[in-house]
């Protein structure tokens, strides 16, 4: 990854390192998004051209090289490459101490989470869903996908990810890596706490895999199961109530015969 770090430093003689990194991941994200998500093509293409204006032609020629390096690294050893580059550039010092969980720790956590229960869910519904409320550059999701792969599960067909982050650069970085690893995902630029959402980034794997349809179908199945479960519970309650009433006839007040003395003891 030092090749990427070196090239970004070379491009930083007229721009800040933070800007070069942010522009690289955003332009890459737009280029990947515009291949399949035509509904957002125009505004994103406009944004792409706005970024391009800040660079000389010879500088712009280096950005495709950066993307090629990223592709090679992900093919050779899939991991959170952009997170590693981010820290190697020491951008965490410029961005208010922002720190990403080291990838080996993410792999360890993924091993603890992923188990036989995941296969049971896949057998029942065809896939599992994963949510990440503060995804950073996507390390935890990548680790989970690789753990599933090591378990013999094709993550490209059997998981769907919803990842959220408040930082736009993190959103773009995670989206690029998910796209290149063919992870079906929606990466949301938003605030998990306030529930605000500013933009949605659908990976090519999401669009080409018709995941909108699959997710709606699963939601309908779960809703139907919930309705049937509630109906069964209500019927059971009514049945128990009827049986209880039949077994317990109303108490009749017992009064002593006329002309007899009331006894207290």
Per domain, the residue ranges of the chain are 2-213
Q: What is the pLDDT of residue 229?
A: 79
Q: Which pTM was predicted? A: 0.84
Q: How many Cα neighbours within 13 Å face the side chain of 251?
A: 3
Find the mean pLDDT for residues 242-258.
52
Tens digit of pLDDT for each residue in 133-191?
999 999 999 999 999 999 999 999 999 999 999 999 999 999 999 999 999 999 999 99
Q: What is the pLDDT of residue 260?
A: 43
Angle (deg, nearest 10), helices 168-180 and 62-76: 60
Question: Would you say 25 and 82 are in contact if contact means Cβ atoms under 8 Å apart?
Answer: yes
Pull the structure tokens for residue 91. 């951008």
Residue 206 contacts by C-beta under 8 Å, 6 or more apart in sequence? Answer: 160, 184, 185, 186, 212
Q: Give the confidence band of 265 by pLDDT, cuts at 50, 70, 90.
A: very low
Question: Would you say 135 and 165 are in contact if contact means Cβ atoms under 8 Å apart?
Answer: yes
pLDDT at 92 over 80: no
Of the listed ranges 119-123, 124-128, 240-244, the one predicted with least confidence = 240-244
Q: What is the pLDDT of residue 113?
A: 85
- Please name which of 157, 151, 249, 150 lies closest in space to residue 211, comparing C-alpha atoms: 157
Q: What is the pLDDT of residue 230?
A: 79
Q: Give the confidence band of 66 by pLDDT, cuts at 50, 70, 90.
A: very high
CA–CA separation, 265 vs 19, rounded Å?
95
Q: What is the pLDDT of residue 225?
A: 83
In this structure, is the dihedral angle defined by the CA atoms of residues 164, 170, 172 and 178, taken in order, positive or negative?
negative
- Please name which of 45, 40, 28, 51 lies closest in space to residue 199, comparing C-alpha atoms: 40
């Amino acid at each position: 990854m030092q090749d990427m770090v070196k090239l970004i430093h070379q491009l930083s003689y007229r721009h800040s390192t933070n800007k070069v990194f942010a522009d690289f991941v955003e332009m890459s994200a737009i280029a990947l998004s515009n291949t399949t998500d035509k509904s957002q093509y125009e505004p994103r293409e406009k944004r792409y051209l706005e970024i391009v204006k800040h660079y000389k032609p010879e500088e712009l020629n280096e950005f495709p090289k950066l993307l090629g390096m990223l592709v090679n690294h992900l093919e050779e050893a899939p991991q959170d490459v952009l997170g590693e580059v981010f820290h190697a550039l020491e951008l965490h010092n410029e961005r208010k101490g922002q720190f990403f969980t080291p990838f080996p720790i993410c792999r360890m956590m993924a091993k603890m989470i992923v188990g036989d229960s995941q296969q049971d869910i896949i057998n029942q519904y065809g896939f599992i869903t994963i949510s990440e409320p503060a995804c950073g550059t996507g390390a935890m999701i990548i680790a989970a996908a690789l753990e599933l792969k090591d378990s013999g599960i094709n993550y490209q067909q059997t998981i769907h990810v919803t990842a959220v982050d408040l930082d736009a650069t993190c959103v773009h970085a995670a989206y690029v890596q998910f796209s290149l690893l063919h992870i079906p995902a929606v990466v949301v630029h938003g605030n998990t706490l306030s529930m605000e959402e500013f933009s949605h980034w659908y990976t090519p794997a999401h669009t080409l895999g018709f995941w909108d349809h699959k997710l709606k179908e699963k939601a309908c199945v779960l809703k139907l199961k919930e309705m049937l479960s509630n109906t069964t519970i209500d019927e059971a309650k009514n049945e128990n109530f009827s049986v209880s009433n039949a077994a317990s006839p109303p108490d009749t007040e017992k009064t002593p015969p006329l002309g007899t003395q009331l006894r207290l003891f």
